Amino acid sequence: MSRALLSVRGLSVRFLGERSVAALSDVDFDVARGEVLGLLGESGSGKSVTLRTLLGLHAPRTTRVTGQVNFDGEDVLSLPAEALRRYRGGRVSMIFQEPGLAFDPVYTIGAQIAESIRAHDAVDARTATARALEMLERVQIPQAGRRLQAYPHELSGGMRQRAMIALALACRPLLLLADEPTTALDATVQIQILLLLRELQREAGMAMIFVSHDIGAAIEVADRIAVMYAGRIVEENAVAELVAAPRHHYTAGLLASTVGEAERGRPLATIPGAPPDLSAPMQGCAFAPRCVAAVARCRSELPPLVRDGARALACWRPRATGDGDGARGPIGPS
């Protein structure tokens, strides 16, 4: 692997307020050029916070960010305002779950994409509009010329999601941050958007961080998956290996409790309990109270994320690699 495009080291985010919440703790990961990293986790695990931190979207008054984010040789967390503005949308851009919120309802789709192009490149209005049209065509919006004049509310959910992708890619970013981009979509539309993202990503050689709670969607697009729990990465591996032989008990439980094909009628393997409260101080592994393999050490000492080639794991008592049953083994007491 060549030098990473994005390199995150020791990133921690704390939201200050009535109760201070440790949303992200000591997160390390790299994304290479043209690579798709899937960030998988349940609500509150820190996936979206990670993306927002990468774009510097948190209000500085109520957020304390520590650690390092290096993007293409630049230290993102200390970028001055003007450089940050060029970085956002120009070299790194983001798409969201709710495309309705990414567009201003009183301007046409075309005007907004053109505006974004002109904010980053020195081109005239006509060139920008022509590029906007080209983008709408690339995201396969039918009758793109007419849609250029459409207001956001005139498009269906799937079309709006495509238009948002066009907006995000208009300045040819090196990295796309995708925050649950298909969660709100219907099944037949979801698969179209996943395939579109995969195609555009490959064509442009762009890197992507794809955040999802849906393992199925992540498997469709990601090269590598990092699993997050309670604000930390607990396991990371190439997608095939992670699915076939999860080492962390949380990853295994997550895979097993995803309703697959074979279990019809039989009780599902579940992870007992619920995720921890991030405003309470934590000792040891955050997953220990729900983990079947937890021992005294898990409750007292935090397991560090240990890297070994392509894989990384934060667990004192990982599952054996030789487990032939893979993800479908008995996980928890049911």
Binding site for another protein (CB under 8 A): 42-43, 142, 156-159, 186-192, 194-195, 213-217, 219-220, 239-240, 243, 253-254, 257-261, 263-265, 267-272, 274-275, 334
User: Of the candidates 287, 285, 272, 281, which has an alpha carbon nearest to the alpha carbon of residue 334?
Assistant: 272
| Of 63 and 190, CB closest to another protein | 190
The secondary element (H helix, E strand) that includes residue 283 is none
Please report how close the Cβ of residue 258 comes to another protein at its closest, in angstroms: 5
CB 174, CB 87: distance < 8 Å: no
If you search the block for the tokens 């990371």, which residue do you land on? 236
Residue 207, Cβ neighbours under 10 Å: how many? 23
Between 87 and 287, name the residue whose CB sits nearer to another protein. 287
The residue (of 272 and 330) whose beta carbon lies closer to another protein is 272
- The whole-angstrom separation of Cα 285 and Cα 280 is 14
Give the whole-angstrom CA distance, residue 26 versus residue 269: 30
Residue 68 bridge partners (DSSP): 9
Q: What radius of gyration, in Å, describes the C-alpha atoms of the chain? A: 21
Name which of 32 and 189 has its Cβ closer to another protein: 189
Residue carrying structure tokens 């704390």: 14
Give residue 222's region: left, alpha or beta (phi > 0; psi -120 to 50).
beta
What's the min distance (Å) between Cβ of 304 and another protein? Answer: 24
**Contacts of residue 154, Cβ cutoff 8 Å, sequence gap at least 6:** none
Q: How far is the CB of 42 from another protein (least distance, A)?
A: 4
**Residue closer to another protein, measured from CB, 44 or 89:** 44
12 within 8 A of 65, measured Cβ to Cβ = yes
Q: Rank residues 134 and 154 by Cβ distance to another protein and give the closer one.
A: 154
Identify which of residues 125 and 274 has a Cβ nearer to another protein in the complex: 274
Closest approach, Cβ 131 to another protein, in A, equals: 25
- The answer to whether the CB of 224 falls within 8 A of the CB of 238 is yes
CB 155 → another protein: shortest distance, Å? 9
Q: Is 188 helix (H, G, I), strand (E, B) or coil?
A: helix
H or E stretch covering 160: helix 157-169
Handedness of CA 278, 281, 285, 291 (dihedral sign): negative
Q: What are 276's two structure tokens?
A: 């921890």
Q: Residue 200: which of 165, 225, 171 has the closest Cα?
A: 165
CB of 107 vs another protein, minimal distance in Å:
22
CB of 159 to another protein, least distance (A): 7
CB-wise, 279 or 334, nearer to another protein?
Answer: 334
Whichever of 75 and 263 has its CB closer to another protein, that residue is 263
Least separation, in Å, of the C-beta of 140 and another protein? 9
Q: How far is the CB of 66 from another protein (least distance, A)?
A: 28
